[in-house]
Chain A
Amino acid sequence: MKTDNVMRDKAQRPAGRGIRQSMSGLHIWAGLLMGWILYAMFLTGTVSYFKDELSQWMRPELAHQAELPDPALVAQRIADELVASVPGSPQWSMRLPDARTNSVYAFWRTAPGGSGAEGGRRAFGEASFDPATGGKVTARDTLGGDFFYRFHFQFHYMPALWGRWIAGAAAMFMLVAIVSGVITHKKIFVDFFTFRGGKGQRSWLDAHNALSVFGLPFHFMITYTGLVTLMALYMPWGEQMAIRTQAERQQMTAELNAFIQPGKPSGQAVPLASVAEMVRHAQERWGHDNVGRVTATNPGDSTARVAVARGESGRVSMSPQYMLFEGTTGRLLETHESVGAAAETRGVLYALHLGRFSDGVTRWLYFLVSLMGTAMVGTGLVMWTVKRRQKLADPERPHIGFRIVERLNIASIAGLSVAMTAYLWGNRLLPAGMAERAAWEIHLFFAVWALTLVHAVLRPAKAAWIEQLWAAAALLALLPVLNAVTTDRPLWHSLGQGDWVFIGTDLMCWALAALHVVLALRTARHRPKLRAAPAKERGGVIGGAVEEGR
């Protein structure tokens, strides 16, 4: 169908540029300008599908959780701890442990006027708790897998809001690159079965096409849903116009999340009723291990409310479903189980992006296809240079634009592998008692990443690629060894315990190391073909980077 349109277009304007050529230009430049950011977002986002497992691996002090603790008891334990440790907090919320987490993450608003609340601004605190004891976990200070997760949509060293706008712009470029890429590519499904290996640019193009087409529905979905996760930030105009009163705002919020807002406290102290009972109530409705989050507002006050939210498994939607209890008596006030059609659509799209509903197999599929998306961006970036290298007037002294792209490619693709692995090395090597330890793990990540850029600039391009790929392979391959030396949870121990988080991480490191070895060997073997004879133009669509005005 698309092909027909293209043909007709071409027939109508023999003199003008065909739509496929203009779309090719759009695809190339939209892809290139945001390509490095997109690659980093894709790869850190891909890894984030295992962020809970990665967080467990990065806190080796927390014992492997052989069986899931009773959520009701855990909720009570952590609630008691929060009541005691953050008195007067207008709101706190905890995520109950599930099969993938062995600690309870909680955050709270600090009491107004209390320490930490500066100048009336709302201040937040957060901590992870041990489900078995209720105490704060005494593991090394680390952001764990959440660093990659947060980085993939808000980056670092800048206000989160800026980062989110940059991520949004990059995602929008990605969306345009996907749509224009599809239009560009008329023989999209035929070419999927075509792979011409060892043929330089053609091979890169074929690889790029295969990766893109195979994962196309996923890539499109993940990009659009990524925009949806932050759409209220990117497109606030309708909301600003229509949602004006407090009641409307509450109505809107109820459609989006299960966070109940604290009302005005009465000042009359009444202790919280049994949180365990409330969770049991929710378990009866949604299943024993399917209670996700417990949020309390004004706990300890007579106006207290407790919301117990449904877990994320068993439904592909993030739309809020929760039971609301009166905090002082434990009486069920309301069961919120449905939202409007648009809100449900948004909930489904949101859930598709996060993939938290997945069981093990689905999660691996998510990871693999997402990795393909990463490779799609990576091959696209590399192709830009492969294509242009053949046309360079003097291949020994390429122009500055070419050199910038070439070097940035090395650091942002191979260098990112090195830096991400270095972050995990930092987790094992930085001293446990170090001040600002979690922040230093992250500084280490960026320092190594910056070094890879310096290295990429100083070394000849090909050597830089090979050396960085080998460095990443070595760091990855040795990580299980480092883990065995620095923790009491080496591979043979995890195997004996059936501790799949640690087994999986060790094996994954080796698998990724092997991948980097293959890439390094292939790069080393590669001989770039310089334009010897006037090569036959094969009607390469990607060659159509015609700039307007030429």
Chain B
Amino acid sequence: MTPLIDRARRSAPVASRIVAALFGGYALAALGSVAALALPMSKPQAVLTGMLASFAIYAGAVVWVFAARNALRAWAGLLAAAVPLAAAAWSVW
């Protein structure tokens, strides 16, 4: 194996986590902000609640991604969190 490929192989997990944190985290936060629309309150309040909470979701997701034991678990955790949020978001689609 050439050193370059070897290096790519070794840095793939961390690259995967960075992508999971930056984009996966944002996607989860965005999904959360939409899921908030399912809350029993008026539309503007629900919209604002979603926005307000989204940054906490994002930060939590990033911390999770780097705390998880490996990159696969990091992604799996994000997906697991996304399922109920997606269900809530679906209900108001």
Contacts and interface: CB of A to CB of B under 8 A. Distances in A.
Given A22-B66, A176-B59, A549-B11, A238 B37 contact: yes
B45 A342 contact: yes
B44 A172 contact: no
B51 A235 contact: yes
A19 B11 CA distance: 19
A127 interface: no
A255 interface: yes
Nearest to A349: B52
A228 interface: yes
Interface string A232-257: 10110111011100001001100100
A204 to B, nearest CB: 24
Contacts of A238: 33-34, 36-37, 46-47, 50-51
A237 B30 contact: yes
Interface string A520-550: 0000000000000000000000000001111
Interface string A498-531: 0000000000000000000000000000000000
Interface residues of B, number: 37
- Interface majority SS on A: helix, strand, loop or mixed? helix
Contact of A228 (B33, B52, B59): B52
Interface string A179-214: 110010000000000000000000000000000000
B50 to A, nearest CB: 4
A342 B49 CA distance: 6
Interface residues on A, range: 35 or more
A1 interface: no
A441 to B, nearest CB: 34
Given A172-B58, A346-B48, A549-B14, A237 B42 contact: no
A13 interface: yes
Interface of B: 10-14, 17, 29-30, 33-34, 36-37, 41-52, 54-56, 58-60, 62-63, 66-67, 69, 92-93
Given A228-B55, A346-B51, 6 more contacts: A175-B59, A234-B55, A241-B37, A241-B93, A342-B45, A549-B13
9 contacts: A23-B66, A23-B67, A234-B51, A237-B33, A242-B47, A251-B44, A342-B52, A345-B52, A549-B14
